[in-house]
Structure 1
Amino acid sequence: MAAERPISEEMKDSLRIKTSFKDFLSLKNEMDTTYLKLQRMGFIESELLQLKKENDTSYSAIFFLGKKYSKLKVFYSEEDFSKKELQRVASEITDLYFILPFETIPLALRKLTALRNQKGNAFARLRLSEFEKNDTDMLIATLLVDNGIVRTVDSIVVKGYEKFPKSYLRYYAGIRKGKIFNQKKLVTQSENLNSLGFVSTVKPPEALFRKDSTTVYFYLEKQNNNLFDGILGFATDEETQKLIFNGYLNLELNNNLNYGEQLIINYKADGKEQINFRTKLTLPYLFSTPFGLSGELKIFKRDSTFITTEQQVRATYQIDPRSTVYIGYKGYESSNLLDEAIAGAPIEDFSSRFFILGGGYLKPQNRKLFPVKTAILLDAGIGSRKNENKPEDQLGVETTLNNIFNLNYRNSIFVQNKTGVLFSENYLVNELYRFGGINSIRGFDENSIDASLYTVLSTEYRYLFGEDIYAHSIIDLGYFENKTLSLQQNLYSFGFGLGLNTMAGLFRFNIANGSTQDSSFSFANTKIHISISSKF
């Protein structure tokens, strides 16, 4: 290729012109592509002057480049775009015009068109007109906008899973009739449905535009989301140095009635006569409203020391697709099973009544193994405890904060903090928070730590080998206080884990070693947990 003046090596690299072709048509197409590249680089006066055959195997092309324009001054109307919107494409903006580097013009026009589409102008078209040249390297043009008809979502049709509970479209995904049509947002909202577990999106939503209406079609498929989860744990008894077992069983029945309902039955035993039973029923979006209801029963028994029963009822309200608040009632009944009191461990019969309120924020992501990117949960209860007919006011607060920092497709960092604090004048052992184990601080026995205050920071560096397998580190740090023992202590846990999605379900393997600030490292403290979550 030749020009009216020599071109720089940098410009040759930018043009990336091929030098060999299989036929003349391929050569002609390459020259047309080069002409378009020159136009986009600012050589708007450029043209192909000659394509000459030198011999049987070579050709030469001569271009006229003309003046290079490096910037475009675009006059616009504030009725079409605000200054704030134009900041997405330009840095120099006035009330009358904005300035674009010449190479960014196509991308800027695509972004501005997308902005119009998001406002319901699905057929909006933008073009530059009234071009003017001046003596500088700046070209002048006017931005013309054809907005078309503003489109709204007039009807919604679900294909594939016709019995899908429509309330989830309205309140969970935020898809409603009458909303301005925004194709990009609808795709995101449709993908968010994947985090429900009992449904998956087959393909992106499509729209049918009629003269006076817009119908959006969602393509969904029902997924089996009943869950059976079992954990088998191994540990060494510190006193006998013998191998002991602990177990965990969890049954979740989800959406079997096509209502989005959930029934949970959970049972835990740590091999040392500690038993934890929980059952919960959740009914979302009652009568197709954003209100829901849930009831829960928990029973905890520690060997022959005490047994505590908890009942809880919540009324929930979905503020928006990601945020929920609730109010409710929580009651405790606890019985001392000891024939004789243990010194330094106040365990008494008591009953407690709490008014509870809280909320949650969940941000999903379209990742099969990690469907929730961010979670913020707050639970607070105010009430009183009565034992030996002595009432005592109490306040309890628990929070959970977690987030996944996606570094790229394969690498991510998971960070979670769980904190709980009980404010009271006096404390009983059988009313304290209980934590420890695979779902709080790993490397410790399940519910083996009693605390009036605790906070646990759990971290994982995750590496995704493929869509169905990943490995992760385990670094957990904790702190707790036990007012009944006047104890304050730091906790540490280190290890690694593996997750594998199989035909039978999600297989997880965790190995972690936990220690306290007063104890040295010992392999005997290592806990191994194996679990498989089977869907049916």
Structure 2
Amino acid sequence: MKASDETLVLHCKRKFRLRKKHLFFLFLYIGISFFVKIHAQEIILSLKAEKPIAEGLKDSLLRKSTFKDVTSLQIETDTIFQTLQRLGYIESELLELQKINDSNYTANFFFGRRYRNIRVYYSKEDFTSKNLQRISSEIEGEFFILPFESIPSSLRKLTAIRNQVGNAFARVRLSGIEKDGEGNLSASLIVDNGNVRTIDSIIVKGYEKFPRSFLKYYAGVRKGKIFNQKKLVAQNENLNSLGFATSLKPPEALFRKDSTTVYFYLEKQNNNLFDGIIGFATNEETQKLEFNGYLNLELNNNLNYGEQLLLNYKADGQEQVNFRVRATLPYLFATPFGLSAELKIFKRDSTFVTTEQQIRTTYQINPTSNVYVGYKTYDSSNLLDQAIAGNAVEDFTSRFFLAGASFLKPQNKRLFPVKTYVLLDTGFGTRERDSISENQVRIETVAHNIFNLNYKNSIFIQNTTSILFSENYLINELFRFGGINSIRGFNENSIDASLFSVLNTEYRYQFNEGVYIHSIIDLGYFENEILSIKQKLYSAGLGLGLQTKAGIFKFNVANGNTEGQDFSFSNTKIHISISSRF
């Protein structure tokens, strides 16, 4: 064979091999495309039963009708079966998953009868009728009736009830589901209690020096108490209202074989308060140095004991001077007993000065309620150089035995930490003047509540009432009210009364955790037996509250009027206060 012929043969063979390779890749591409197209095709599932299926039921059973593969389709048919069981079709079963063609399948079910209710027999040792009212409206002597669909949620609620009484690992289930001759379902309620858990130890993380007496008495967390997770969370929330501590997260429990340890996660907060402006000047008439302004100092828990030292001073330079100091020691010697002592001095221009001293012993009944007994004295001096006709100001000394009670319910809100507060303070004693002794009774009450309509809207209502019972009265022993802490729109402590009652109302709108506005509508009534006055008071206005870096700033504008008095803009008062924490 010639060289030219050999070259031609080799060229033909090479050309044939290239064509063969191209054909191979062409067939491979066609095969892959066909395979991908088959597997990318969606599979449609339809339902079929021994009777027509209502559209509403079909929609609730068949949540999706197309699937990417047979595996996901089979998972859906299992889900449909479980849904039928929960709906009360307890006789249902999947008869066949039939393939119609490559893209269509039919699930053939037998539904059977639907049972809408079930009669559950229970033991009264496990649950009371009151417990069962949370899940059923039909309760008989030995059984109660449940809607079949509510069985899972009802069992969860009953389990939670058992958990709350110390059975932390309790489980509640139905057993022996049967049909009676009339086609009704019945079952027995089985309670696996496990071991009753009690709190064996309490550990505080984060704020190790937290005064433990507040856990025991203020929050109500004690060793030996039955473990109740829900109650512990509520008690933990109460600790946030203390001010000097905050909770970092809900409490946790460590369960060992023979003990239960509860962990609280707390952080110490600075809770000292300061607010004040102090000025001084020389009196042109007396050439004496006079102070004016106000000071409000509150020191809380600086010794990690929960103690409080309160100091108030307010003076306008001429008419009134108020001074108050109080010390409070809670939970003495780790007991529910506490002790407080207070000193008040009130001076009205050059008319009189009254000194009030009291000491109280408090006993905490439970985390929200306290009772107390105490002793209070009043010493008042007439500062006038000469007697003025009709001016009932005299020297006197009063001694009172005190008894009272208070109720406080906190809430987890930074701007409004107290939801409900009730105080009853009574004093029984005598007043002595000019060697004449006279029996007296003093009663003071405070009650307020916040009605939370929703997160942003709330209504605040407060009533303050004070009564002095006596045969006759002196000006310097009367109650004094008016101002931002009593009835707004009137000067501070400008009204003397032997009896007064003030109703404060506010509609509050809270923009966020740090800003709110509110209305002011205050109503008051007072009597002054010395002047034979019985008068009604009214005030209205607006207020603003801000949580600033310096503290809580409050700005109130209110116009106060007496009954029968025409509105006058000059009666408008502006009340400003700021509470700075450090």
TM (normalized to structure 2)? Answer: 0.85
Deviation track 1:380-400 (CA, whole Å, cap 9, x = no partner) reads 000011111111110000001
With over 3 angstroms needed to count, the CA separation of the structure-2 counterparts of 1:442 and 1:49, relative to structure 1, is: farther
1:428 aligned residue: 474
**CA distance, structure 1, for counterparts of residue 48 and residue 388 of structure 2:** 97
Question: Match of 1:470, SS?
Answer: strand
Structure 2: give runs of 5+ residues left out of the alignment.
1-45, 279-291
2:363 aligned residue: 317
**CA distance, structure 2, for counterparts of residue 251 and residue 58 of structure 1:** 80
1:465 counterpart (511, 516, 524): 511
**CA distance, structure 2, for counterparts of residue 19 and residue 423 of structure 1:** 82
2:159 is the alignment partner of 1:113: yes
Residues 289-438 of structure 1 aligned to structure 2 (within 5 Å) = 289-438=335-484
Cα shift at 1:301: 1.0
Please provide the CA RMSD for this pair.
2.4
Which one-letter code corresponds to 2:90 in the other structure?
I
Cα shift at 1:501: 1.4
Question: Match of 1:196, SS?
Answer: coil
**CA distance, structure 2, for counterparts of residue 23 and residue 447 of structure 1:** 82
1:3/1:65 contact within 8 Å kept? no
Cα shift at 1:35: 4.0
**CA distance, structure 2, for counterparts of residue 172 and residue 524 of structure 1:** 47
Which one-letter code corresponds to 1:411 in the other structure?
N
Deviation track 1:156-177 (CA, whole Å, cap 9, x = no partner) reads 1111101000011111111111
Deviation track 1:357-386 (CA, whole Å, cap 9, x = no partner) reads 101111111222211111111100000111
Question: Match of 2:124, SS?
Answer: coil
**CA distance, structure 2, for counterparts of residue 31 and residue 355 of structure 1:** 79
Larger Rg: 2
**CA distance, structure 2, for counterparts of residue 353 and residue 16 of structure 1:** 82
1:151/1:181 contact within 8 Å kept? yes
Residues 206-225 of structure 1 aligned to structure 2 (within 5 Å) = 206-225=252-271
Which one-letter code corresponds to 1:276 in the other structure?
N
Cα shift at 1:12: 5.7
Cα shift at 1:529: 1.9
1:146 aligned residue: 192
Bigger drift between 389-398 and 128-137 goes to 128-137
Deviation track 1:88-142 (CA, whole Å, cap 9, x = no partner) reads 2222222321111122222221121111111111100111110112465642111
Which one-letter code corresponds to 2:394 in the other structure?
E
1:2 aligned residue: 47
With over 3 angstroms needed to count, the CA separation of the structure-2 counterparts of 1:3 and 1:387, relative to structure 1, is: farther
Bigger drift between 65-74 and 449-458 goes to 65-74
1:344/1:485 contact within 8 Å kept? no
2:539 aligned residue: 493
**CA distance, structure 2, for counterparts of residue 267 and residue 74 of structure 1:** 68
**CA distance, structure 1, for counterparts of residue 372 and residue 182 of structure 2:** 64
Which one-letter code corresponds to 1:106 in the other structure?
P
With over 3 angstroms needed to count, the CA separation of the structure-2 counterparts of 1:110 and 1:272, relative to structure 1, is: farther
**CA distance, structure 2, for counterparts of residue 64 and residue 111 of structure 1:** 32
2:564 aligned residue: 518
**CA distance, structure 2, for counterparts of residue 341 and residue 13 of structure 1:** 94
1:446 counterpart (492, 495, 501): 492
**CA distance, structure 2, for counterparts of residue 533 and residue 90 of structure 1:** 51
Question: Match of 2:241, SS?
Answer: helix
Structure 1: give runs of 5+ residues left out of the alignment.
233-245
Which one-letter code corresponds to 1:112 in the other structure?
L
**CA distance, structure 1, for counterparts of residue 569 and residue 70 of structure 2:** 74
Question: Match of 2:424, SS?
Answer: strand
With over 3 angstroms needed to count, the CA separation of the structure-2 counterparts of 1:307 and 1:104, relative to structure 1, is: same
Bigger drift between 28-37 and 128-137 goes to 28-37
Which one-letter code corresponds to 2:297 in the other structure?
L
2:219 is the alignment partner of 1:173: yes
Deviation track 1:477-516 (CA, whole Å, cap 9, x = no partner) reads 1111111110011111111212121222112221111111
Which one-letter code corresponds to 2:130 in the other structure?
K
Question: Match of 1:129, SS?
Answer: strand
Paired residues in the alignment total 523
1:161 counterpart (207, 224, 228): 207
1:460/1:475 contact within 8 Å kept? yes
With over 3 angstroms needed to count, the CA separation of the structure-2 counterparts of 1:348 and 1:117, relative to structure 1, is: same
Which one-letter code corresponds to 1:479 in the other structure?
Y
1:345/1:484 contact within 8 Å kept? no
1:502 aligned residue: 548
**CA distance, structure 1, for counterparts of residue 567 and residue 247 of structure 2:** 48
1:270/1:445 contact within 8 Å kept? no
**CA distance, structure 1, for counterparts of residue 95 and residue 544 of structure 2:** 64
2:498/2:526 contact within 8 Å kept? yes
**CA distance, structure 2, for counterparts of residue 485 and residue 292 of structure 1:** 41
1:240 aligned residue: none
**CA distance, structure 2, for counterparts of residue 281 and residue 453 of structure 1:** 29
**CA distance, structure 2, for counterparts of residue 227 and residue 208 of structure 1:** 38
**CA distance, structure 1, for counterparts of residue 559 and residue 69 of structure 2:** 68
